[in-house]
Amino acid sequence: MAETPQQAMASLREQYAEVGANNYRPAFEAQLTSEQRRGLEGTIARFRGNEAFDSAARRAQEIFDLDRRTGVVEGAIDDNFQRYAHYLKMGLDEEAQFSASMMSGRQASQVAGIRRMRAQMIESMDQNIPGYREARNRWASLASAEEALGEGATLTNQNADAIRARLGQMTDFERYHARVGFANEIAERLGRRGSVNGNRNIAEALGSPEIQRRVSAMFETPEQAAAFLDTLNQQNMLMRNAQQWGTGSQTYSNAAHGADE
């Protein structure tokens, strides 16, 4: 992978406002059928009264009001219902992120509940707003990227079948960031184990058929998986070489005398 998780998020933050607005425009301008409108309204009505959802709704109203004042939209929420639903989803993004950052043992179930509520809201939007899932497939949200990065790191502990099943549920956008998280976690393990436990465990891990199956499941083609493993093997070799340059080693001594000369 060409990016670390930090680089991926920095890139998204730089581009999000401009690309996000253009990406979702066709979905915002699509005409909803009466059945689609009822489906979306039913989902929203089901969650009203929940503290986190009501907070997200206030945030959505604030964003909509600001967009109306600045000329981004015209008319009321009823005239821009799918845009308002998107702003509700953005509010739930913020609620999930805030709750996670403040999480204690007592709040863990609440965070999980907010994320389930957000997932169900997104599912309803995918089903009832023409083009919304396609827009998310190209460009989702910062919250979606952060979650995918984190989940990608945890997929290193899943078997190949579980990895394939989870990737199949993701959009292309989420899948890319999950791969970044997965690749970074594997590379980090290489660094940690190489410095703490020596090189033998890492060399065995990289050669493990199970690890290779997980990597293969994570990437789109066998060539991509092979290239990633090859990069890790090269990194492992460089680490082993670097350890020979520590102070007191023969290599270090030879280099020092060479510099003196």
pLDDT digits (tens, 9 = 90+) for 51-92: 999 999 999 999 999 999 999 889 999 999 999 999 999 899
Q: For residue 244, is pLDDT > 70?
A: no
DSSP string, 76-140: -GGGGHHHHHHHHHHHHHHHHHHHHHT--GGGHHHHHHHHHHHHHHHHHHHHHSTTHHHHHHH--
The label of the residue with tokens 């090189």 reads 199
The pLDDT mean for the chain works out to 78
Structure tokens at 258: 């060479």
Instruction: Name the token pair of 244.
Output: 């020979």
Q: What is the pLDDT of residue 189?
A: 73
Round to whole Å and give the CA distance between 211 and 2: 21
Do residues 32 and 124 touch, judged by C-beta distance below 8 A?
A: no
The model's pLDDT over 174-215, given as tens digits with 9 standing for 90+, comes to 888 888 888 888 877 766 544 434 444 444 456 678 878 888
Q: What is the pLDDT of residues 109-145, one digit of tens each?
A: 788 888 899 989 999 999 999 999 888 877 766 667 7
The residue written with tokens 């909509």 in the block is 64
Question: Which residue, 225, 124, 134, is CA-closest to 171?
Answer: 134
Least confident of 61-65, 136-140, 161-165, 232-236: 232-236
Q: What is the pLDDT of residue 62?
A: 94
Residues 6+ apart with CB under 8 A from 108: none
Q: How much is the pLDDT for 68?
A: 92
Between the two ends of the chain, the Cα-to-Cα distance in Å is 42
Mean of the pLDDT values across residues 222-235?
73
d(CA 217, CA 237): 25
Q: Specify the 3-state DSSP secondary structure of 33.
A: coil
Strand (E) or helix (H) holding 193: helix 172-196
CA distances (Å), origin 70, targets 64, 66, 134, 194, 232: 10, 6, 27, 55, 50
Nearest-5° angle of CA 187, CA 190, CA 196? 145
Residue type, 51: E
> What's CA 255's distance to the chain center, in Å?
45
Cβ of 30: how many Cβ atoms within 10 Å? Answer: 13
Query: What's the pTM?
Result: 0.60
Give the residue from 38, 94, 39 showing the smallest Cα distance to 63.
94
